[in-house]
Structure 1
Amino acid sequence: MMGILFYGFIGILTMGAACLVKTENAAPAGGGVCTETARRMTRRRALSLAALLFLFTVLTGLAALRIDVGNDYGNYVNTFHEIYVGGYVVTEPGFNLLVRLLYTISGGENYLLVFAVFAAATTFLFLKAMFDQSLDFVLSFALFMLLGLYFRTFNTVRYYFVLAITLYSLRYVLKKEYGKFLLLILFAALFHKSVLVVIPLYLIAALPWKKWQVAVGAALAVSLPLFQDFWMSVLLKLYPSYENTVYLEQGTGIEGSLMGVVRCSAVLLLCIIAWKAVKESRANLFYCKLNLLGLALYTCASFVPLISRLGYYLITPHLLLVPGILTAMQETGKRAEGIQGNRGSRQYRRTLLYAAVLLLSALYFAYFLLTAHQEGVRVLPYHTWVFTEREWLNGSYIF
């Protein structure tokens, strides 16, 4: 219970600090008004940077100070050890090189340093992506915390580091700077090769969809559950390290993908309700297409082991899509100000949707905290090496 209250406090504290972050940078021109506005903007920017630094410190500190928190913490410690002594590992070369470098610099198997470095890098990238790319940083950050995404970074640290990179890479897809996008994803693949799947998926979502293309995509999606053996053989050729492992027994089925289906369906409903805000924004339309691909993946490919790892590449942009839609609705309401009664109804609908998003996210956060101790998540109870003399090494506690 104390762990639930502690995580709840961290959520409230950080979301409160996020409210101090402002991303508006425009200032009117002209005389003293401009000077005074510039001063306010400077103070606002300073306050925003201070709040961002506070968020980075709290979130990085909480992740870096943990010990034996996370479903695969012990497995990672063992993997670090095997990398350091030259044993056989299936992790990617970039990850192996970084672990070996940090162990060499620290003069021994300082796995706490490795976890701290990944915590800092992952937190920085998520904050950077949301600050630079979201139209409403406060709401994006609230979703980041309430949907449990931050606390899930305590698991599979290299995967969530790569996930943060993919969120940041979306800017290059939207700018059509595909060379930078490819280079960034190829760099991320040095830490988790599953990220390569976003190259075709993100580029497909960036293209204008024609009816015949949608029909082909729908047929492909339907073929996934109908020809499971064939598609599994294709996946095993792409990821041979999974063959003859326990991971093949972890096909979740639609029940295991239910939460992903619910999230994608809820966001799709929001897109339908505010379709004008979606279709008039290239970014929102792009993120909406990613959500559709995510929904298809969770429903039609639920037999694939660890499907959530692929699904998260498609649904993490919800952090940008939901604020983008609600902000666009607000702007549309302002443009309709001259139409009697129109603005009021639009703003009322937006307020209701905003409140619904926060309410549903808060309910999910409560559900997440109540299940955070379970196998597969295990981010509770929280332990820190600061207040313990125990040291986790190679699957055993050393006192």
Structure 2
Amino acid sequence: MIGLTLFLLISILLSWCGTKLQVPFAKQVFIFLLILILGLRHDVGKDYPTYELIYNVPDSVQANAVEPIWHLINYILRYLGFQARGFFFFTSVIVMVCFYKGIKNMSSHFYVSVTLFVLLGLYYESANIVRQYVAISILFCGFHYLVEGKIRKYMIWILFAALFHTSVLIIFPLILLSRFRYPPILLLAALAISFLFGNTILNTLINYVMPSLASLDLYQYGVDDFDAGVSSGVLKLFYNLFACGILFLFMYRPPSKCAYFHILLNMVVIGMILYNTFYLFQPARRLYLYFFTYLILLIPYCAEYFKRTSQLIMIGITYLIFLLFLIKANVGIPYNFDVSFF
């Protein structure tokens, strides 16, 4: 997977050069490449066998646990003669097209955001939690309605995304709260509390709010169950320090070129609070991706704080650090392909 990452980074560079040279459809060709790599994957991600089973055995326990729309989608794909490859390719198209539209509409620098999408591991994670990522990508695509104040239109996107993963119904109130301006010191305090006392808050929620989960002992995950960088806690520490750094910048010098910078900042901070709180409760920890994903939009706007040379240094260092974490998390992990659609 490390070789694939380097290939993607080179492809991003070539696409950027193509755009500079006004080569037609340079961005679209690259996005299609991302769809191919993601859609033709085979046995990539811990949840891959489960989704393959859901597709091939529609009466299985796992299949009965998914949202009704997936039954309809799988039925149509099976009726057309597709094997499970059709499902993975179809969902890859949705995810990548939605992220492409969202980045194109909201990012101040398309290729910086796309590079971060890869280096933050978001691209690879979409190969794992497929249903949730379809919902995440749909919300990301329609997020511009929220920042434009068109709440009713955005609610339609929320309801549409909820068809693909019901967790949207849990997190949408937090998304709506991101519209308001909060004192940076308040956000810093909330972030610090979640970092220092996240496990205590989690145990309180489990024992008093969700006692059924406590009795089943479902939330107990050992740190060794997590990817490299998570089990050691280094990645968690870096995420929090990075978020604090952005908050300090915002506190002393708000950007002038982005009217919705505070919304993106709120989304990332909310994501980090969820990450810290549910660090040892993996199913709920995944909810942070609904929010943390907006870091790929926030970082390019943060570059406005610096002059041109400093921007390149800041972005370069950010790339390097996230690349190192990505390599550590994926070293030795194979990435296989399958083109058997029928």
Alignment partners' CA distance in 2, 1:156 and 1:381: 18
Tell me if the contact between 1:251 and 1:302 (Cα under 8 Å) persists in the aligned partners. no
- Deviation per CA, 1:263-284: give whole Å up to 9, x if none: 2431431342354244774311
Query: Which residue matches 2:51?
Result: 76
- Which of 360, 368, 381 lines up with 2:326 in the alignment? 368
Tell me if the contact between 2:187 and 2:269 (Cα under 8 Å) persists in the aligned partners. no
Tell me if the contact between 2:12 and 2:111 (Cα under 8 Å) persists in the aligned partners. no
User: Partner amino acid for 1:98?
Assistant: I
Query: Which residue matches 2:26?
Result: 51
1:139 is aligned to 2:112: yes
The TM-score with structure 2 as length reference comes to 0.82
- Which of 182, 201, 205 lines up with 2:174 in the alignment? 201
- In 2 relative to 1, CA 17–211 (structure 1 residues): closer, same or farther, beyond 3 Å? closer
- In 2 relative to 1, CA 90–184 (structure 1 residues): closer, same or farther, beyond 3 Å? same
Shift of 1:139: 0.9
Alignment partners' CA distance in 1, 2:272 and 2:44: 30
The TM-score with structure 1 as length reference comes to 0.72
- In 2 relative to 1, CA 296–384 (structure 1 residues): closer, same or farther, beyond 3 Å? closer
Alignment partners' CA distance in 1, 2:313 and 2:209: 41
Query: Which residue matches 1:7?
Result: 5
- Deviation per CA, 1:236-277: give whole Å up to 9, x if none: 59xx8x788785333769857652452243143134235424
* Secondary structure, aligned partner of 1:193: coil
Query: Which residue matches 1:232?
Result: 206
Query: Which residue matches 2:219?
Result: 248
- In 2 relative to 1, CA 156–286 (structure 1 residues): closer, same or farther, beyond 3 Å? same
- Deviation per CA, 1:9-58: give whole Å up to 9, x if none: 22221343135447xxxxxxxxxxxxxxxxxxxx94xx3x5112211221
- In 2 relative to 1, CA 383–135 (structure 1 residues): closer, same or farther, beyond 3 Å? same
Counterparts of residues 213-232 of structure 1 (less than 5 Å) = 225-226=199-200, 228-232=202-206
Query: Which residue matches 1:64?
Result: 39
- Report how many residues are paired: 334
Q: Which runs of 5+ in 1 are unaligned?
A: 23-42, 330-345, 375-379, 392-399
* Secondary structure, aligned partner of 2:178: helix
* Secondary structure, aligned partner of 2:282: coil
User: Partner amino acid for 1:365?
Assistant: L
Query: Which residue matches 2:299?
Result: 322
Larger radius of gyration: 1
Shift of 1:161: 1.6
Identical columns (%): 21
- In 2 relative to 1, CA 16–266 (structure 1 residues): closer, same or farther, beyond 3 Å? farther
Q: CA RMSD in A?
A: 3.5
Tell me if the contact between 2:188 and 2:247 (Cα under 8 Å) persists in the aligned partners. no
Tell me if the contact between 1:63 and 1:119 (Cα under 8 Å) persists in the aligned partners. yes
1:266 is aligned to 2:242: yes
Alignment partners' CA distance in 1, 2:129 and 2:335: 16
Q: Which runs of 5+ in 2 are unaligned?
A: none
Shift of 1:123: 0.9
User: Partner amino acid for 2:177?
Assistant: I
Query: Which residue matches 1:304?
Result: 281
- In 2 relative to 1, CA 228–173 (structure 1 residues): closer, same or farther, beyond 3 Å? same
Query: Which residue matches 2:290?
Result: 313
Tell me if the contact between 1:264 and 1:295 (Cα under 8 Å) persists in the aligned partners. yes
1:95 is aligned to 2:95: no
- In 2 relative to 1, CA 210–180 (structure 1 residues): closer, same or farther, beyond 3 Å? same
User: Partner amino acid for 1:355?
Assistant: I
Query: Which residue matches 1:30?
Result: none
* Secondary structure, aligned partner of 1:206: coil
